[in-house]
Amino acid sequence: MTTTVRVANGPWSEEALFAKSQLFIERMESHSAVDWQFGLWSTFALELVARATLAHISPVLLADANNWRNLAYALGKEPTAKKFTPVSITTNEVIARLTELVPEVTPEIAGFCTQHLKRRNAELHSGELIFSELGTSKWLPNFYLALRMLLAVMGKELKDILSDPSSAQSMIEVLEDEAAKAVEQDIKAHQKVWSNKSDEERQIALTQATTWATRHAGHRVDCPSCRSPALLQGSPNGPVSTEVDEREGEVIQRQTMLPASFECIACGLRISGLSKLAVCELGDAFTGKSVYTAAEFFDLHTLDELEQARAEAAPQFEEDFNEY
């Protein structure tokens, strides 16, 4: 007879991980924000919240796949082998999986989490005094922003883990306001430079930008500064849809892309980060499309054969980021 086990009781469950993260936050808040212990405990809490968020989808996602017993352990099963020690995935892998599975975890959030946890490793495993020398303005607002995003995935709020959520929210709002002001100033500066160009210079730049912003190099948009054709690059987000075109013998895959960076070669404007892109109305998701021949998609030929076919001018298909 198979016994049903409540995963919620397991050490890798959302409930257990979140409860422990609350303890780490309490320890963090027992220190002044200028103390190095405050920063160090924040890294411990952040990792536990990230793991709880992944466990919210399924605790199985935390299991190291090299041993199937880790999967059983994640489901709450008792070990069935002697000397078995459960192994979970690395923190970097936790962040990578969240980035791919959860739209709220943007590349910016993931980047901060990765960087903040590297600070912990440096603090613990080197002679560097990371948090003694790093001002809170360099990390604390982003910490609260990442925390808010991860908690939202689990249906929680800052008040569920922080003693003073209003102060944390104020820091987040300041961070967002500063990003918006920086983008607006950058756009105005490039607009001024563009307007000071002669008609001939602008026409040459426009022609170059139009040629450069081809449909296979990124998602085409109008530059908010000079209105020339420009390109957005994005990060994959969400499931991949697959469609087989039997008539053409092609396999078409589409995936949602979240904007990550923008570049216009006409006026030189560059913007990085989804939050900044959203300020200037460049934050809308777009669709990335890849087209494969049936042979390529189903691996019907060897790599050598495919390379030879390409050398003989076989049809080439590149990424197309211009579907809405």
| pLDDT tens digit at each of 324 positions of the chain | 333 334 556 899 999 999 999 999 999 999 989 899 999 999 999 999 999 999 999 999 999 989 999 999 998 888 888 888 999 999 999 999 999 898 888 888 999 999 999 999 999 999 999 999 888 888 999 999 999 999 999 999 999 999 999 999 988 988 888 888 888 899 999 999 999 999 999 999 999 999 998 756 788 999 999 999 999 988 886 678 888 888 878 888 888 787 888 999 999 999 988 778 888 888 887 888 888 887 777 777 556 665 766 666 544 545 666 655
Listed residues 101, 131, 163: the one ending a domain? 163
State the DSSP code for 88. B
Listed residues 129, 163, 197: the one ending a domain? 163
Specify the DSSP element, H or E, that contains 303. Answer: helix 303-311
**Same domain (yes/no): 82, 200:** no
**Same domain (yes/no): 130, 26:** yes
**Same domain (yes/no): 17, 132:** yes
Res 257: pLDDT: 82
**Same domain (yes/no): 91, 131:** yes
Res 1: pLDDT: 32
**Same domain (yes/no): 122, 216:** no
Q: How far apart are alpha carbons 147 and 162 in whole angstroms? A: 10
Res 216: pLDDT: 61
Task: Tell me whether residue 178 is in a domain.
Answer: no
Task: Tell me whether residue 298 is in a domain.
Answer: yes
Task: Tell me whether residue 176 is in a domain.
Answer: no
**Same domain (yes/no): 212, 271:** yes
Q: How many domains does the chain have?
A: 2
**Same domain (yes/no): 146, 203:** no
Task: Tell me whether residue 1 is in a domain.
Answer: no
**Same domain (yes/no): 109, 61:** yes
Res 314: pLDDT: 47
**Same domain (yes/no): 108, 191:** no
Q: How far apart are alpha carbons 45 and 51 in whole angstroms? A: 10
Residue 24, CA distances (Å) to 16, 162, 171, 238 in order: 13, 11, 21, 31
Task: Tell me whether residue 280 is in a domain.
Answer: yes
Res 88: pLDDT: 95
Task: Tell me whether residue 230 is in a domain.
Answer: yes
Q: How far apart are alpha carbons 141 and 146 in whole angstroms? A: 9
Task: Tell me whether residue 170 is in a domain.
Answer: no
Listed residues 163, 193, 214: the one ending a domain? 163
Residue 98's domain comprises 7-163
**Same domain (yes/no): 198, 126:** no
**Same domain (yes/no): 146, 16:** yes
Res 201: pLDDT: 93
**Same domain (yes/no): 235, 110:** no
Task: Tell me whether residue 222 is in a domain.
Answer: yes
CB-based contacts of 3: which residues, under 8 Å, 6+ apart? none
